[in-house]
Amino acid sequence: MKTIKITKMQGCGNDFIIVDYPEFEKTGIKADELAVKLCDRHFGVGADGIIIPKTDTKDTDLGWDFYNSDGSTAQMCGNGMRCFAKYAYDNKLVNKKAFSVQTLAGIIKPELLENGLIKVNMGKPILEDKKIPFWGERRITALNREFDITPVSMGNPHCVIITDEDPMELAKTYGPIIEKHEYFPEKTNTEFVKVKSRMEIDMRVYERGCGITLACGTGACASVVACVLNNLTEQKVKVNLLGGPVFVEWQGSKDDTQQDIFLIGSANYSFFAEYVL
């Protein structure tokens, strides 16, 4: 009987399975196939994605391979990075609380804070259409309805929609359509945002490759960038996700978009297990 040791973690309900590379290697299963198997919530463990730490990187302290529940790769995941950072420090993959991680979105720098939260320097938001990538207008049609949008990339594409309606209902109805819209050649995460005040927003997300999730760290960052650019919030914002709040800080503006954005939130263990393949 072949088994694999796993760690289950979650950040604001966005849940992940972490598999050390030696454990992954011994399975003989391709990573994308393993992700689909483990993430299945009925026949597997259940998760939004899997993370495989890499310790052989040259220019950073660590690296990771990240796969969505459908087996597709993701350039970045803010909630996943917070879980990864806590796991890496607790399991002595690094010996410092601030370190660098190589991802498909570039180098990301998490830091474990004294209050138990994790702060992640998510880098600079990408607003150039070609780099998002995005090919279209700032108004999108889905199911015969039009929405004003702000396209943003946090290493992965996002379509942010500001609304006065129930963001969850909009995410359920229009998220699957916009995810595969022709404006986004690599598909997109879609965030529906309701502004509560200059310091607080509610956000619901339909994630590319996952569907409705309890939280999305890169989506929270993209949402705050969109709100700041549209002069709807200040530069430090509480973002209420379905799974709980995170805090996003961005000192950027319409005139200065090249500022790093920071995501602050929790990361928690769910359980340790040995899964029968």
Check if 77 is active-site: yes
Residue in 12, 216, 221, 227 annotated catalytic: 216
The whole-angstrom separation of Cα 39 and Cα 26 is 19
* Residue 135 to residues 129, 154, 176, 186, 265, Cα–Cα distance (Å): 7, 17, 18, 11, 33
Please give the full DSSP string across 192-210, using - where no structure is assigned: EEEEEETTEEEEEEEETTT
Residue in 12, 77, 83, 159 annotated catalytic: 77
* Residue 106 to residues 38, 77, 94, 155, Cα–Cα distance (Å): 26, 12, 19, 8
Angle at 247 between CA 16 and CA 220, to 5 degrees: 60
The whole-angstrom separation of Cα 32 and Cα 192 is 29
- 3-class secondary-structure state, position 178: helix
The whole-angstrom separation of Cα 149 and Cα 147 is 6
The whole-angstrom separation of Cα 23 and Cα 171 is 36
The whole-angstrom separation of Cα 50 and Cα 75 is 13
Q: Which residues are catalytic?
A: 77, 216
